Amino acid sequence: MNIIEKILTAHSKKDTVTPEEIIDINIDTRAARDFGGANVVKNLEDYDLPIHDPSKTFFTFDTNPTGSDQKYAKNQQIIRQFARKRGIKIYDINNGIGTHTMISEGLAWPGSTALTTDSHANILGAIGAFGQGMGDKDIAAAMAYGKVWFKVPKSVKLTFKGKRPENVTAKDIVLNLLNQFGANSLLGYSVEMYGEAIDQMPLDERITISSMGTEMGAIIVLFPPNEEIMEYCQTRTQKEIPSIKADEDATYDQELELDISTFRPMVSRPGKPHDVVDIGETQKVKIDSAFVGSCTNGRMSDMYAVAEVLKDKKVAPGVVLKIVPATDKIWQQCLEEGIIDTFKKAGALVSNAGCAGCAAGQVGQNGPGEVTISTGNRNFPGKQGKGEVYLASPSVVAASAVSGYITTTENIPPEPAVFEPMPEEQAESPAEPGKKKQPPKGKPTVVEGRVWIIDRDNIDTDMIFHNRYLSITDPKEMAKYTFDNLDGYEDFASKSQPGDIIITGKNFGAGSSRQQAVECFKELGISAILAESYGAIYERNAINAALPIMKYSDLTPLELNDGDKVQVNFETGEITNLSNNKVVQGEAFSEVQMEIYKNGGLF
């Protein structure tokens, strides 16, 4: 078996597992963040569910470490009160990013399993652990029963040949991978990393690469732990940990070789993490702000890289540099070693440890017309604000901050670029709220409805339900914001009708673990969503919430037009265009999906 199969086998009642098999897996660590955590609590209380093992159950407050938003503060307090009552440990707003805490506090270790409401929980692949972001129903189930159902993923083995160029950082490596594989070539796969260049990578670099497995659509990017990683984890857990590695005769769906010597410094252009180009193509793009942080690049080595660039320099006039360490321990180390002093003398803003720019209302967000260069993992429209966001390595972000435009450390100019006077830009007026709709009653296995053909791939959860609405817990209120961040469909909620069916492309629901991106469709009464493929977390969330989703391979024979009436049979997988009676075969519901659907949801 390969690594993912060994981990899942060890946490199931099976002697061996195979790809596509659905199994129950025991979860070593079950956690929820301040984002999503209040909804987890609501599920636990509404269904009067127990806590399977409080010693394996945690809450981490990282999306709003300042508690500066009243709705977040309310949700955090709901969680605190629940945790006190149930004897659950909280890593509060003074701690940092939850997935990093799992590693540094020994809550995850090589070969272990962990779940949280963070879609970047697959960051734990950096230490050879299985980490998954899931929606609030899944997390509540894990906390209550200690296990969840899971489909064993297919695996890809990537072997890196050649010598890594000195100017290529870990962020550059993952951007090169995004450039090659895009957002959905690895969709649903477990990816294992091999080669001399991989073996030599320290923990911080492994974290950077594993973190952005989500942006490639992968279930997880797993690094076989070397001696340094094993020693680190044994120190944190204070116990002996058996090594985890693939068998020599392990089988993979794909085995690919990559020449790392050809990798180069790269930048992701605004709108799509996988829209990656050589940094030379973005040289001298004028910036308004720069951000260093996130679960991808908020580690101590990242702080060192930024401090090296900023020493004895100043941030360019009119540019704001925001720096947010991943954990409080990293923040403290920066303070003790004088790095905070270097940041402040350069004119940077340093904030509390946490997720920062990836969370609405936090340090790192930008405004309309603002151009930002960021070390974050996502630059979907609206994710880090209303402006444009480029993604790059910490050293490139720091060099750009002191130059006033995107550049490398080798090309910092003697004098920074300055802004020319320009007319004030008007902020966009808020969209008119849509009408509330009621979902149809009953759970039919055959549905009919008018189709919306949204011929796009990689529609992410920020396009479906934007992160500025994440504090909403009432599904009726969620409905009116459906697709209001998807260009051309901002009025979808007001124009849709109960029973409508959505047809879209690949990787629908990419991105975040937010359950709201499912509940909004249910509340509108959407009777089915048909797509070529789904984001891994979104697929689970939809199934668990009894939102009918189905995969298809080719709908061309149906000769569909927008607004046609379609019939979908969940038991047989047949999809029929009722205007011409043409039929194609989709993927029928699995036994698990049908059982949950007929039950009205996971609970």
pLDDT tens for residues 502-515? 999 999 999 988 99
- Dihedral sign of CA atoms 117, 355, 391, 329 in order: negative
pTM: 0.84
Residues 355 and 224 in one domain: no
At 471, is the secondary structure helix, strand, or coil?
coil
d(CA 38, CA 162): 48
216 and 240 belong to one structural domain: yes
In this predicted model, what pLDDT tens digit does every residue of 461-482 receive, in sequence order?
999 999 888 878 888 899 999 9
Find, among 347, 343, 345, the residue nearest to 325 by Cα.
Answer: 343
pLDDT value for 441:
53
Band the pLDDT of 67: cuts 50, 70, 90: low
- Of the listed ranges 41-45, 430-434, 548-552, the least confidently predicted one is 430-434
Minimum mean pLDDT among 82-86, 216-220, 435-439: which range?
435-439
Query: What does the longest C-alpha to C-alpha distance in the chain come to?
Result: 72
Residue 125 pLDDT: 98
- The answer to whether residue 508 is domain-embedded is yes
- Where among 411, 433, 467 does a domain terminate? 411
Same structural domain, 226 and 78: yes
pLDDT at 423: 62
Q: What does the pLDDT read at residue 71?
A: 82
- Look over the chain and give the mean of its residue pLDDT values, rounded to a whole number: 93
The 10s digit of each residue's pLDDT in 45-61 is 999 999 999 999 999 99
Asked if pLDDT for residue 430 goes beyond 80, the answer is: no
Contact 241/234 with Cβ under 8 angstroms? yes
Tell me which of 382 and 296 has the higher pLDDT.
296
Same domain, 343 and 477: no
- In this structure, are 398 and 278 located in the same domain? yes
Q: What single string gives the DSSP state of each residue in 325-352?
A: -SBHHHHHHHHHTTHHHHHHHHT-EE--
Domain boundary among 411, 433, 466: 411
Structural domain boundaries, residue 357: 266-411
Q: What is the pLDDT of residue 327?
A: 96
Structure confidence at residue 471 (pLDDT): 78
Using pLDDT thresholds of 50, 70 and 90, give the confidence band for residue 570: very high
Is 568 part of a structural domain of the chain?
A: yes
Q: Is the dihedral of CA 390, 392, 394, 396 positive or negative?
A: negative
Q: Count CB-CB contacts under 10 A for residue 39.
A: 24
Q: Are residues 522 and 396 in the same domain?
A: no
What are the pLDDT digits (tens) for 528-550? 999 999 999 999 999 999 999 99
Phi, psi of 133 (to 5 degrees): -85, 135
pLDDT band at 356 (very low <50, low <70, confident <90, very high): confident
The per-residue pLDDT for range 219-258, each reduced to its tens digit, is 999 999 999 999 999 999 999 999 999 999 999 999 999 9
Q: Residue 442: pLDDT band by 50, 70, 90 thresholds?
A: low
Question: Helix axis angle, 227-237 relative to 203-211, nearest 10°?
Answer: 90
Same domain, 142 and 204: yes
**pLDDT in the model for residue 447:** 97
The reply to whether 425 falls in a domain is no
Query: Structurally, how many domains does the chain consist of?
Result: 3
Q: What is the pLDDT of residues 78-122, one digit of tens each?
A: 999 999 999 999 999 999 999 999 999 999 999 999 999 999 999
The answer to whether position 428 is within a domain reads no
The whole-number pLDDT of residue 437 equals 42
Per residue in 444-453, pLDDT tens?
Answer: 999 999 999 9
Tell me, what CATH number does 464's domain have?
3.20.19.10
Calculate the alpha carbon distances from 474 to 360, 498, 519, 521 in Å: 19, 19, 9, 13
Percent of the chain with pLDDT over 90: 86
**To 10 degrees, what angle do helices 203-211 and 170-181 make?**
30
Domain end: 262, 280, 307, which one? 262
Let me know if 508 is exposed, middle or buried by CB neighbors in 10 A (0-12, 13-18, 19+).
buried
Q: Averaged over 423-428, what is the pLDDT?
A: 50
What's the CATH number where 338 sits?
3.30.499.10
**Is 582's pLDDT higher than 50?**
yes
The encoded tokens of residue 585 equal 């075969």
Residue 124 pLDDT: 98
Assess whether 388 and 279 both reside in one domain.
yes
> Same structural domain for residues 79 and 200?
yes
Same domain for 127 and 221: yes
Q: Are residues 289 and 237 in the same domain?
A: no
| pLDDT bracket for residue 207 (50, 70, 90) | very high
Give yes or no: residues 235 and 352 share one domain: no
Residue 167 neighbours by CB under 8 Å, 6+ apart: 264, 265, 408
* pLDDT over threshold 70, residue 65: yes
**Which of 266, 284, 283, 265 has its CA nearest to residue 275?**
266
Q: Are 273 and 391 in contact (CB under 8 A)?
A: yes
Q: Give me the phi and psi of 336, to 5 degrees please.
A: -65, -35
Q: Is the pLDDT of residue 301 over 90?
A: yes
Report yes or no on 433 lying in a domain.
Answer: no
